[in-house]
Chain A
Amino acid sequence: MIRPLDSASSSPLHFFGYFLDHRSEDLGWLWDHTWLSVVPVVVGLALALPLGWLARRYQWIYPPMMSITGLLYTIPSIALFVLIPPVLGMDPLNPLQVPIALSLYSTALLVRVVADGLGAVSEETVQAATALGYRPVGRFFRVELPIAVPVITAGLRVAIVANVSIVAVAGTIGMDNLGRLFDQGFTLSVSQPYYPPIVLGIVLCVLLALVLDLLVVLVSRMLTPWRRAVPS
């Protein structure tokens, strides 16, 4: 691009110029988008661990719990954003409605992964740990959970990337995050399509998803040093 693009250019390639023109706003939304994507996964994991453990410990809970969490995931996010404030008696503009809705999704996604990850721990390993003197709680945190980390990681990667995309939906109802860029591109596409904010939103969302995914992988590697010691 040698020809300088003016700020009204609607070329998709103008997204970087658009970013420079609205830098502080866009970076603020990127930060909002980041915490809105990460916090629900942390909350979801904290809730999914006991639930997944229950589903594994008491086998009869597993089928209904998986049906319910599976169905939970099919509720459209926009419906949740509309329903949560009145149901919880929150202010309609309270930004917390977004992480609450997303925590539900993350929990729904992670319960199955935690349960299946724990289920993948072989009975022999559990018995060996018991024989070594581990009590149930210690055994869970120091033997079963670490062995389940790779499976749980796979679920976390899906959950965090899914969140990055669902958060954007909340931009259309006025919540601050990268989704606002899509709303902006849409409302400014009156006489002809106006691509820069839309392309910028996509680029930033994809970059954010890649970075967060990489972080999950790195944390998982740190938590499972034995996987590097023994070639699998």
Chain B
Amino acid sequence: MKTKLIAVAAIATTLTMGLSGCGSSSSSSSSSGSGGTIASKMIFGGPPEFKTRVDGIPGLEKNYGVTFGKYTVTDTGGPVTVNALKRGQVDAVDLFTTDPAIAANDFVILEDPKANFAAQNIVPIVSKDKATPGVRQVLNGIQSKLTTDGLGKMIGEVANAKKDPADVAKGWLTDNSLDTTGSSAKGVSLTVGSANFPENVILANIYAEALKAQGASIQTKLNIGSREKYYPALEKGSLDLFPEYTGTILTYIDKNATATSPADVYAALTKALPANLVALDQADAQDSDAVVVTKATAAKYGLKTIADLAKKG
């Protein structure tokens, strides 16, 4: 009997570890004394880590005095979050600024005048020993042409028109005359990875196709579920190149990072990266977090900025 109990306890521990590792869909209410504000009547939906991230719920509380009535775990700017907001299961959510669903559903992005959300410029993270001058030149060439609008258009082609991310990537390279063949990356072999959302897959495809055209031998490992899974792979060298976002990767590596402006975040990131990884040029294109509400909610409470949520409602 005793051994049985120990076995049960061991399994239970394993279970909790596993679950907390992949984010259980729990929700909890925080009822700190800010009753009466607009936010206190709202349910906020976002990814599990947003609840504790420096620029997540704690940041909104610190910078704007906004405390939501309840936090519900949805997904990371994906269909679950969009649909929960659309159907009114949550009142405000954490989405990404390039998300075509924002315009498609007439959602409203609340302005962030105090720069609670750190800059999220797109930046390729590369293994240092693979970052030859040729590879740097090819990737930085792409970086200089990437814009937020251009990125939004490509995501729309994949998410709405269901085009293949690889085809969309090739099309973009052609449109920006970056598809020239050459030999500047010849002799380098790289494994390119991506997370599992269309934008990241498109970016990885752009990098991969351009490097391939310049003679590099490329392998891809796309659609990897979570940063907890792919960042260690990048650190250990089983991935060599990954499209990242300056703010998110910085706070992932350095939990206490406070930089918010693009230049500060980039500077902090280059310092925080381990010695075997290097950040190439950051693009103008940004895909940052944003507090998003429906048009109806914005009209009802007269919301324009995140600060408006702290008003008495």
A residues adjacent to B (C-beta < 8 A):
7-8, 10, 21-22, 64, 67-68, 71-72, 74-76, 78-80, 82-83, 91-94, 172-174, 180, 183-184, 186-191, 194
Contacts and interface: CB of A to CB of B under 8 A. Distances in A.
A92 B233 contact: yes
6 contacts: A67-B4, A172-B225, A173-B229, A174-B225, A174-B230, A187-B79
B18 A82 contact: yes
Nearest 8 A/B pairs, CB to CB = A79-B18, A174-B224, A173-B225, A8-B162, A93-B233, A92-B232, A82-B21, A189-B79
Interface in B206-237: 221-226, 228-230, 232-233, 236
Given A174-B221, A187-B79, 8 more contacts: A68-B7, A71-B11, A75-B15, A79-B18, A79-B21, A82-B228, A83-B18, A92-B236
A72 B7 CA distance: 10
A79 B14 contact: yes
A173 B239 CA distance: 15
Interface in B38-68: none
Contacts, number: 109
Contacts of A71: 7-8, 11
Nearest to B159: A190
B7 A67 contact: yes
B3 interface: yes
Contacts of B99: 190
B42 to A, nearest CB: 23
Interface string B250-278: 00000000000000000000000000000
Contacts of A184: 223
A184 B19 CA distance: 23
A188 B223 contact: no
A79 B17 CA distance: 8
B158 A188 contact: yes
Contacts of A174: 196, 221-225, 229-230
A201 to B, nearest CB: 14
Contact of B198 (A67, A68, A172, A187): A187
Contact of A187 (B21, B196, B239): B196
Majority-rule SS of B interface residues = helix
A186 B78 CA distance: 9
Given A93-B224, A188-B162, A188-B198, A79 B229 contact: no
A82 B200 CA distance: 22
A92 B230 CA distance: 7
Contact of A190 (B17, B100, B224): B100
B309 interface: no
B160 interface: yes
Contacts of B17: 79, 83
A64 B4 contact: yes
B230 to A, nearest CB: 7
B169 to A, nearest CB: 15
Given A79-B15, A79-B21, A174-B224, A93 B196 contact: no
A49 to B, nearest CB: 23
B101 interface: yes
A8 B161 contact: yes
A78 B22 contact: yes
A203 to B, nearest CB: 19
B238 interface: yes
A186 B7 CA distance: 37
A74 B8 CA distance: 11
Nearest to A9: B162
Contacts of B223: 174, 180, 183-184
